Each structure stands twice: as C-alpha cells, then as structure tokens.
A and B are shown apart, each in its own frame.
Chain A
Amino acid sequence: MSYFAFLTEHGPTMLLGTVTTIKVLICATILYVIISLIFGLMRLSKNPIIQGTATVYIEFFRGTSLLVQLFWFYYVLPFFGLTLEAFTAGVVAIGMNFGAYGAEIVRGGVLAVPKGQWEGAFALNFTPAKRMRKIIIPQIFPIILPPAANLTVELLKATALVALVTVVDLTFEAKQINSITWLSAQCFGTALLIYYIISRFFLVPFLRWLEVLAARKVGKEIK
C-alpha cells in the first residue's frame, strides 16, 4: 500500500486524534499556567505553612514520574470514590505535573526582577499585594516566558501519554491503526510528523510571538 493510499484511508482518523491531542494540550496548558503562578508565589511566601505546602507539592510532583501520576489519577483515585473520566484524569495529571515545574520557573522569575523595583515599590508605600500585582508580576513575564516555552513544548510531547489511559488522541489512533494494518512505519511516522508540525510550525512560533509581546510590554526589544 502506497503512503498516499494510507493517508487517504487513515488520515481522517489521525486528524480526529490530533484534535483531541490539541484539546488536551490547551486544557493542560491553561491548568499548568494557573498552578505555576499560584504555587510559584506560594513558594516565595514568608508564611512557613504556605511555603511548606508549595514545596511539598512541587517536590512530590517533580519527584515522581508523570506516567505514574497519570495511572494513579486514573486507576487509583476510583478506589477513593473519585472516578475521573480519562480525558479529565489526563489533563489534571499533566497540568499538575507541569505546574510543579512551572512553579519553579515563576519563582525564579520573581526573584530575577531587579531589586530596585522592589525598593521603589516599597518607597512609594505600596501594600505588598499591590506591589506584587502592579509592579512585580507584570515584569516577570519576559523573564519566565522563554523557559516556559520550552516547558510547553515538553507538555505537548507529554500529551502522548494520555493515550495509555485510553484517551483517544493521536498516539492512541496511531497505535490502533498499527494494530489493524501493521503498517508501523507509516502510522507511527505520520504521528511523529504531526507532532513535529504542531510543535515547529504552530506552538513554537506562537510562544515566540508571546515572548516578543511580553518583552515589548516592559519596553524591551528582542530580535
């Protein structure tokens, strides 16, 4: 069977899987961004309970494998009476795992804001909340976006794992088609290509655009 015939027959199925992959990507990205911001700031808190919670969370999720977490969410949580749908379990596991990595980036970003900005806000008698919201947070984005972009590409790759908890995404479809046709080179090759295209021509340019946007917001210009 020629590659073209393979594409006309199985291409639509793979595209359907791709849509699911993109859905997982978007949902998990939103979740991980929120979690990183919250836990990254909690990590910087002076209150030992808040800081301790964030540290335990971050170390726990960075210390164990994403696949283990994913299976734990999907197969073990039902024992506690909390049954998640495969899609939800996948998004939550990926979001929480990457949130832990992202929190460290946010922490680094806040610490990298020049000291003069903190002192300036202090001199102007801003409340700590206002100082954070109006002065510090807007400035962390140009700092955290480049590492966050790398992390988001990692996240795209990690979405492949949700196939193992029966989410019908691109990887799942590729596996399925492989087990029907045994045209392994074609189906896994196509899947690899699709991931590559999403990453190289959509995700990375978009993140790059965000970086430029964020840098411009604080008056920096990057090439």
Chain B
Amino acid sequence: MNAEWRWDFAIEILPQMLLATLNTILAAGIGYAIAAIVGLLFLLGQRTPIKIVNIINREIVEFIRSTPLLIQLFFVYFVLPQFGITLSAWVCGMITIGLHFGTYLSEVYRGALEGVPKTQWEACRALNFSTFYTYRKIVLPQAFPIAIPGMGNYLVGIFKDTPLLSTIGVAELFHAATAVGGYHYRYLEPYTIVGLIFLMLSIPAAIWIRKIEKNVNLAQGKIKKEQL
C-alpha cells in the first residue's frame, strides 16, 4: 500500500462516481419530498384538539428523533419482510428517511406557525374570516418564509445522510465508492472523491440557504441592511 494519489485511477473511476452522484441526489430529493409530507402529518397530529392524539404523536416524534437513523433503516429493511411486506432497498430507504426527517420538519413547521404573531390571528377573528381562509390567506403566507431556512438546512441534512443508505444496498455514491474501492483494493481515491463531491454540492447549497435566510430576515424587517 502506498499513499500516492494516482491521477489515472482517479480519472478512470470519476465517470462512475458522477453517475452514482445522480442516484444520491435523486435519493435526497425523494426522501425530502416524503419528509416534507410526513412532517405535515406530524404537524396535524400535534395540532388536533384531541388530547390523546397529541400525546401519542409527541411520543412517536420523540422516539423517532432520539434513535439512530441507521438502526431505523435496518429495522424497516429487515423487519417488514417478517410481516410479509417485502420492499426494495430503495423504497425502505426512502420511507425511513422520510419518517426520520419528517419529525424534524414538523418541528420546523411548528416553529414557523408559532412565529406568526398572535395579533394576526386575532385580527382574522375580528374580521370574521373562517379558519381555512385565515390559514390560506394570512397565516401560511407569513409562516412559509420563516420555515424556509430550517427546511433548507434539513435538505442539506438529508443529502449528507444518504450515504447511510449504502448499508442496506442502495446504489448511491458511497456504495459505488465502496464497491470500486473493494474491486481495485484502493480506497484513497474513491473515498476522497466522495468527500470532494459532497463538499462541492453541499457548500454551495449552504451558501444559497444562508442567502435566502438573509433575504427572509430582511423582508421581515428582523435585520436592517446596515447590519449585513
């Protein structure tokens, strides 16, 4: 084993890695879409006026949030077949990521809804708006900008957690790197390339989110132009 970085090898495996990157991005995208919807469901569970639903909902969220995604993946992947439900690794991975990050996103949504000043609600009540109309026209348009930074952070978060999918055999970037590394018995280049690809994707994303966050804060008057 030598520590020399071999450019020819790195270039040889690069197309394969880039192709697998598409899978990673796809997985992150689907996982995020599911998480966004699951988050809404948890939010609903939390806001229903039925007490028992609230309690059960909170316990489920608490449980999912405080246990590792890795074991949840194993659980879904290995346990469901015991009950006669056989799903592909892709589907299992997407469900688990959706559930796991759905709990986080429900918190983001909750924070955003609570970030809308109470006076807005009171004004709508005074104007005799229906609850639905209040949500649609007054509350949600104001809550959404507050939720954007948090939602963006979890998009990057999901993206960074997709390598875990390789443990159940989803053929994403990290899985490809391990396979290539095992085949040539050279791990230096594949894993380094994976790291670089992640950096090249997540740093621009983070910068972009920070920019949106600033714009949102500016638009809401939380910070002033001079403070930037």
Contacts and interface: CB of A to CB of B under 8 A. Distances in A.
Given A75-B191, A76-B191, A192-B72, A178 B198 contact: no
B198 A78 contact: no
Given A63-B202, A65-B198, A196-B63, A188 B71 contact: yes
A68 B69 contact: no
A66 B160 contact: yes
B199 A64 contact: yes
A184 B40 CA distance: 30
Contacts of A153: 65-66
B114 interface: no
A185 B71 contact: no
Nearest to B198: A64
A57 interface: no
Contacts of B75: 184-185, 188-189, 192
Interface in B1-31: 1-3
B206 A63 contact: yes
A80 interface: yes
A181 to B, nearest CB: 11
Interface string A140-184: 000000000000010011111101100000010011001000001
B105 interface: no
Interface string B63-77: 101111111101100
Given A157-B67, A161-B70, A188 B203 contact: no
Nearest to A59: B203
A185 B195 contact: no
A53 B3 CA distance: 25
Given A63-B199, A63-B203, A65-B163, A78 B66 contact: no
B82 interface: yes
A75 to B, nearest CB: 4
A191 interface: yes
A118 interface: no
Given A184-B79, A185-B79, A192-B72, A75 B181 contact: yes
Which of the four size classes fits the interface of chain B?
35 or more
B135 to A, nearest CB: 29
A72 B195 contact: yes
A62 interface: yes
A36 B118 CA distance: 37
A192 B67 CA distance: 6
A157 B66 contact: yes
B180 interface: no
A4 interface: no
A68 B187 contact: no
A196 B59 CA distance: 11
B71 A195 contact: yes
Interface of B: 1-3, 62-63, 65-72, 74-75, 78-79, 82, 160-164, 167, 174, 178, 181, 187-188, 191-192, 194-195, 198-199, 202-203, 206
Give the top 5 A-B pairs by smallest Cβ distance, nearest first: A160-B68, A184-B78, A199-B66, A188-B75, A157-B68
Given A65-B161, A68-B163, A185-B82, 18 more contacts: A60-B199, A65-B163, A65-B174, A66-B160, A67-B174, A69-B195, A72-B195, A75-B181, A76-B188, A153-B66, A157-B69, A171-B71, A184-B74, A184-B78, A189-B79, A192-B72, A195-B68, A196-B67
8 contacts: A62-B202, A68-B194, A71-B174, A71-B191, A79-B188, A80-B3, A159-B68, A185-B79
